[in-house]
Structure formats: structure tokens, C-alpha cells
Amino acid sequence: MQTTCERTISEIAAAKPSSIRVFESLGIDYCCGGKRSLADACTRAGLSLDRTLALLEEADAAPTAERDWADASLPELVTHIVEAHHSYVRREIPRIDSLLAKVVNRHGSNHSEVLQIQPLFSALGQELTAHMMKEELVLFPYITRMAAGSAGFRENCCFGTVANPIANMVAEHEDAGALLVEMRRLSSNYQVPEDGCPTFRALYQAIEEFERDLHQHIHLENNILFPRAIAMERGY
Ligand SMILES: [Fe+2]
Ligand SMILES: [Fe+2]
């Protein structure tokens, strides 16, 4: 049997939702970059493996109100992703765009990083809007029909097997993840400059929260929904 150190970050995150907070706080990528073992991830991040294991155990023992989505039905999980995460993304994009416009206007001349972050966030917003539309119009209805055991769920299916659109979605998640990494780098981990106004602070808080939510969103899809949908389709 695999020890926790040998398991991948994605597997640990899918099996124990309490681990997600620990990974977030240590800056360990548990969604797009979660395919490496815990031991490997700690080595790369310069973290003590023993200390990380202790934090994971502590988090696991603490009472939590977080839902374990690993045992939810697939339609239930799809509904949660759309209602909690897709709605959040759609709500936040215009709010962050408008905060960015204000900060660029006021601080762009002294802080060129916001001039660079603005087009990156705009690209991220456009990519995510198109991405969520594909999930909601094509992939998720297919998964929901399949999980409901609807006869002929493959009818009008234009992609052969569910693994094909899933591979596209995973690649788009990686593109979104790369934009987030670049924005984090440009903002020096969302550190508000000394002369930053309250709007600057609100902007960095909003983007950081957006990043946290997107990590959870992608984790639910990459590590739970997609592998289960592929396995279910194989069983038909
Ligand atoms: Fe999604
Ligand atoms: Fe997605």
C-alpha cells in the first residue's frame, strides 16, 4: 500500500479535502501541478516533509464543515461546480476588471506591474468565460445524462469519448494556471506597495481570492469529476 509521501498531491487532495488548506498555505499546487508525489513536492518547495505530514494530520483531525465531494454523485458535483464556482467567476471578472482600471489609472505610472497584470487578467477572464460555456453546454450535460443512466446518452455526441473534451478542458486549466502564476510573480505574491491606496489593496485581495477559488474549482474537475466520468463511461 502507498504511503502518504508516495501519493500524488492530487490524490491526497481528492481523498482528504482538509489537505487543501494546508497545500494552499504552503503554496503547493494541488490542481494542475498536482501529479507529483508529496515527497517530491516538498523537496521542490524546500519544505520539510515531516512538518508537512504533521500539518496534514492536524488538519485531518480538526473538525471541518467542508463537504467531501469525492463521494457525491456526479450530477450533484456538476451542480455544485456551476452554482458555486462558475457563478463566482462570472461575478468577479467585471468587478476585478473595474478595480484594475482604477488602479492602472491611479498607479500605472509608478507601478508598471499593474500595466502588465491588466491584459493578463483580461485574457484569463475571456478564456474562462469561453471555457465554462463549453463545460456547461457540452461536457457537463453529457456527464449528467450518463450518470442518470439515460438511454442513448451518446446520441448527438460529437466527441467520440468523454476523454477527448476532458483533455481539452485540462489543457485550458493549465493555460489559466500559467496566467495566475505569472500574475502572482508580477505582483510579488500580491504584496501591496507602500504607496498603494485601499483600491490597490482591494484589487490584490480580489485577485488572490480569485486564484484560491480557481484552484479549488480546477481541483474538483481535474481530480474528482473528470477521472470519475472517464471511469463511468468505460463501465458502459
Ligand atoms: Fe469549471
Ligand atoms: Fe474547467
pLDDT given at position 65: 67
- H helices within 72-162, ranges in order? 74-80, 87-107, 112-134, 140-147
132 C-alpha vs ligand 2 centroid, how far in Å?
A: 6
Closest CA to 163 of 218, 226, 210, 70: 226
- Per the structure block, which three cell numbers stand in for 141? 450535460
131 C-alpha vs ligand 1 centroid, how far in Å?
A: 7
- Amino acid, single-letter form, for residue 61: A
* Contact call for residues 9 and 39 (beta carbons, < 8 A): no
Residues paired with 37 in a beta bridge: 8
Least confident range from 19-23, 77-81, 96-100: namely 19-23
Residue 37 DSSP symbol: B
- Per the structure block, which three cell numbers stand in for 162? 468523454
Q: What is the pLDDT of residues 209-230, one digit of tens each?
A: 999 999 999 999 999 999 999 9
Q: What is the pLDDT of residues 103-157, one digit of tens each?
A: 999 999 999 999 999 999 999 999 999 999 999 999 999 999 999 987 778 877 8
120 C-alpha vs ligand 1 centroid, how far in Å?
A: 19
